[in-house]
Amino acid sequence: LLSQCVIIALTDKGVGFAGSTGDGQSDSLPSVPGTLPHFIQEPEDAYIVKSNPIKLRCRAAPALQIFFKCNGEWVHQNEHLSQEYKDLNTGLKVREVMINVSRQQVEDFHGPEDYWCLCVAWSHLGTSKSRKATVRIAYLRKNFEQDPQGKEVPIKGMIVLHCRPPEGVPVAEVEWLKNEELVSSLTDDHIDTRADHNLIINEARLSDSGNYTCLASNIVAKRRSATATVIVFVNGGWSLWTEWSSCNVPCGRGVQKRSRTCTNPAPLNGGAFCEGMSVQKITCNALCPIDGGWDEWSEWTVCSSQCERQRSRECNSPAPRHRGKMCEGNSEATENCTDGLCTQSKAFLPYDCVAVYFSISVGNPLLLNSSMQPDLTVGRTYSTPLCFQDTTDKELFDPLPDIKVKVQSSFMVSLGVAERADTVERRKKGPFAGRLHQESFRSHVSQCESTGCIFSLQGYNVFYLAFCYVSISLFVPLSLSLSVCVCVSSGVFSVQTEEGCEILLGPEVTYGPPGLDLFSPVAMTIAHCAEIDAENWNIQLKRKTQDSKWEEVMSVEEESSSCYCLMDSTSCHLLLDQPGSYALVGEPLTQAAIKRLKLAVFGSMEVSSMDYSLRVYCVDDTPHAFQGVVATEKSRGGQLLEEPKMLPFRANTFSLQVSIQDVPQFLWSIKPFTTCQEFSFPQVWCSNQQPLHCAFSLERYSPATTQLSCKISVRQVKGHEQILQVYTAVAETEKESVPFFMQTDCTITSQTGPKAFKIPLSIRQRICATFDTANAKGKDWQLLAQKLHLDRNLCYFAKQRSPSAVILSLWEARHQDTGDLDSLASALEEIGKIHSKTVDMPTNHNC
């Protein structure tokens, strides 16, 4: 192996010298016999950059020879560069060897581990091996595994920018740049860059805003990540209120103001502006100047020896106040009391001077003979047909659980759509007969009917209007004397967009009069026919303007401080501040949007006793829409043949098909080509509460046929289907039949006790007093709203004079069908338990 003819014997223990020949192998440098080689320098791990070979070095002493062994094979002697010298400190012979490793060698190696090399050194005693040094090809990929993302954070918030550098050998080191300048936790204690290549700022400062870049580098290259923009924003905060200004009028009712600014701090970098009002106003009463007025003169004094008498008066009727003027004139008067009969020396004449006084009493004609009678009913006088007044003899509600009080009930007034004055006349002897004036009521109802108004009412207390079959209800606030008119429109809906994609989901409802001014919102409930799904529907509340156009009030998914909207599965509960005409409209966002249709089949005999007509109605699933069908069929003598069913109708542009099936052909015949009828999609989708119907005319072969059985299939193409089963008698003597749901008496009545579902007044007042007052432990109106499941759009309640009262009105409207006072009691009991856990005091069971 060696050019000097050194014979190497390979043994199990390693590589050793067996002998040597030639003059080139003499020990030119001294060594220490009996000492194994010691490595002064071992080969180090190396990386090949691009195509540049790397050098591996070994130094050992004492060493006769050193050779490299790579991947288990000896490196050829010709590839070694060696030299030897004497260590001046130890006098030992030191040998140094170097080899080159190329990129090609590393790429051609396909072993189970990385390319490696070690050194083997020989001495007279034996051999020594160095450590293994790995040789790898260095690289750094271009794309980061994770780029940092821009953020907007509030001041003092935490900033975390994630960075995962590109794959590379050796592993890339990461640095961070802010606005192209290096940042490090070594120079800024506020910044931490040591955690898994991430940059962390625990408390953001305004100065931390900037463009951040992750910089990855190794011996091959440097890579830059995408730039992440960090914005540290400041939300605005209100300054303190200024002092109240002086009253803006010198006399009478005026206004005082105070203001604050959104400067504590001012919003920066897109931070939110302060919420709330910057100016507050309160009414003030400036005391008006009152000019002084004279009292009556006093009686004249006795005539004095100087033949004079005096009288006086004071400026006390009224006394001057608030910068008023003093009385003009003299406060004292003196006159001669003898009509000049006294001498110049003021001596009396021979006869006495006598003063005579006349006292005259003058009565007030308005008091003595007044044509005006005292108004003994101020605040309790009513001119309209129906009024309410709290009295002590009303039926009492049962107390709520754990609330040890007895309270008076309220009233509920329900009114049928088809009611007339003659109905009221029949009810004249009811509980309010003493206050019903037949003639004025008849004219009042006529006036309402001429305007399309269902009912008009004036009263002293809170009242609740519910319209039978149309599912419209109205709550009016407490302690008012007013007239309210509510109209339910049955005409064609007038809200249409240019695209024509908005549809009416319930009846148009108007309440008024226009000038109605209430101290608390009105709670109104309107039925709708939509399957509620925010992904498929955009539902809006709209109001008619003075020029009969419709404007958007709010979307039901939005939160607004001017209006409140709560959607249930079949009803929409509104809190309204302004009277007017309102409509609930929907725009389908996807073809999965569904509106509910109510399906009903009616039957009646035709003019010919052998003919029978089946009429199938498809209407929007609201009580108001179906009421039109009922009224029509009642006038035709129709009979409801099957309980109405609901059909989900999708916005998929496909039509609705109605077909008659399973008609006994040997008993009945039907006109050809009429067994299947079809409504187009626009007809059904844009019906806007107007009923659609189709008719099937059947003829029986024999008068002996007295039964009809068949099926009515109503299906949407590529949609849902419903089957109406018809089985009815068709006897000629059959009388007009009224549908079962029309037999309910729905005249004007007053209902007390449990039927008139209303939170008792005393309980309502105690709840409001408890929750309207801020509480350090969180027992306020917001907790009440949460427990009653009304905790959305809280900003609307916050702007009310009594948030709790408005919350309770909304809860009452939502629970009219169930009348469930127990659920309110349970919510209050739960609040009491929560409060008892946080406050070290006995629980107040009366709250």
Reduced 3-state DSSP string for 718-750: CCCEEEEEEEEECCCCCCCCCCHHHCCCCCCEE
Using pLDDT thresholds of 50, 70 and 90, give the confidence band for residue 30: very low
Q: What tokens appear for 451 in the block?
A: 């305007």
* Arithmetic mean of pLDDT over the chain: 75
DSSP 396: B
Cβ contact 809:523 at 8 Å: yes
Interatomic CA distance for residues 76 and 95, integer angstroms = 18
Quick one: which of 519, 410, 475, 414 has its CA closest to 759?
410
Please list, in sequence order, all residues whose beta carbon lies within 8 angstroms of the beta carbon of residue 10, skipping any fewer than 6 positions away. Answer: none
Residues 6+ positions from 356 with CB-CB distance below 8 Å: none
pLDDT at 374 over 60: no
Answer for the pair 563, 553: CB distance below 8 angstroms, yes or no.
yes
**Separation between Cα atoms, residue 196 and residue 183, nearest integer Å:** 16
Question: Which domains are assigned to the chain?
Answer: 38-137 (2.60.40.10), 140-233 (2.60.40.10), 237-286 (2.20.100.10), 435-588 (2.60.220.30), 594-729 (2.60.40.2660), 757-831 (1.10.533.10)
User: What DSSP character marks residue 146?
Assistant: B
Number of DSSP helices (H) and strands (E) in the chain, helices first: 11, 51
Q: What is the pLDDT of residues 814-832, one digit of tens each?
A: 887 777 788 888 888 888 8
Query: Is residue 564 scored above 50 in pLDDT?
Result: yes
Residue 774: which residues within 8 A CB-CB, separation 6 or more?
780
Distance CA 132, CA 277 (A): 77
pLDDT at position 3: 33
Task: Look up residue 559 and give its amino acid.
Answer: E
b/e for 426-453, b at 16 or more Cβ within 10 A?
ebeeeebeeebeeeebbebbeebeeeeb
Reported as a single tens digit per residue, the pLDDT across 118-143 is 999 998 888 999 999 999 999 999 99
For 137, the enclosing helix (H) or strand (E) is: strand 133-137
Distance CA 646, CA 644 (A): 7
pLDDT tens digits along 155-164: 999 999 999 9
Length of the chain measured in residues: 847
Mean pLDDT of 23-50: 70
106/47 Cα distance (integer angstroms): 10
Cβ atoms of 530 and 505 closer than 8 Å: yes
Note the pLDDT of residue 616.
94
Residue 477 has pLDDT above 80, yes or no: no
Q: How many CB atoms within 10 Å of residue 97?
A: 24
Residues linked to residue 220 through DSSP beta bridges, in sequence order: none
What angle, rounded to 10 degrees, do the helices at 803-814 and 761-771 form?
130
Instruction: From 117, 132, 126, select the one nearest 37 (Cα to Cα).
Output: 126
Contact assessment for residue 795 and residue 562, using Cβ atoms and an 8 Å cutoff: no
User: Regarding predicted confidence, which is higher, 66 or 489?
Assistant: 66
Higher pLDDT, 203 or 688: 203
Beta bridge partners, 96, equal 59, 83
Handedness of CA 175, 176, 181, 184 (dihedral sign): negative
Mean pLDDT for the stretch of residues 67-92: 89
Output the six-digit token pair for 445: 């109802």
Amino acid present at 410: S
Count CB-CB contacts under 10 A for residue 800: 19
| Greater model confidence, 499 or 264 | 264
Q: Which residue has the tokens 């519910």?
A: 466
88 burial type by CB count under 10 A (0-12 exposed, 13-18 middle, 19+ buried): exposed
pLDDT in tens, 399-454: 333 333 322 222 233 222 233 333 333 333 333 333 333 443 344 334 444 444 44
Q: How far apart are CA 810 and CA 758, in angstroms?
A: 11
Cβ-in-10-Å burial (0-12, 13-18, 19+) of 57 comes to middle
Contact yes or no for 318/294 (Cβ under 8 A): no
Residues 458-482 as b/e (b if ≥16 CB within 10 A, e otherwise) read bbbbbbbbbbbbbbbbbbbbbebeb
Determine the pLDDT at residue 186.
72
694-746 per-position pLDDT tens digit: 999 999 888 888 889 999 999 999 889 999 999 888 865 444 444 444 433 33
Judged by DSSP in three states, 844 sits in coil
Task: Write down the pLDDT at residue 112.
Answer: 86
Write down the pLDDT at residue 288: 87
Does residue 475 contact residue 523 with C-beta atoms inside 8 Å? yes
Does 522 have pLDDT greater than 90? no
Res 353 pLDDT > 80: no
Termini Cα distance of the chain: 105
E-state strands within 490-644: 503-504, 508-512, 522-527, 537-544, 550-555, 564-567, 571-576, 580-588, 594-605, 611-620, 639-640
Q: Which tokens sit at 728? A: 């009815």
pTM across the whole model: 0.47
How would residue 493 be classed by pLDDT, with cut points 50, 70 and 90? low
Would you place residue 594 in the very low, low, confident or very high pLDDT band (cuts 50, 70, 90)?
very high
User: What integer pLDDT is reported at residue 340 of this predicted model?
Assistant: 62
All residues at 6 or more sequence positions from 296 whose CB lies less than 8 Å from its CB, including other chains: 313, 317
Query: Which of these, 614, 616, 592, 639, lies nearest to 714 by C-alpha position?
Result: 616
The single residue listed with the structure tokens 């110049």 is 344
DSSP state at residue 835? H
Mean pLDDT of 305-313: 89
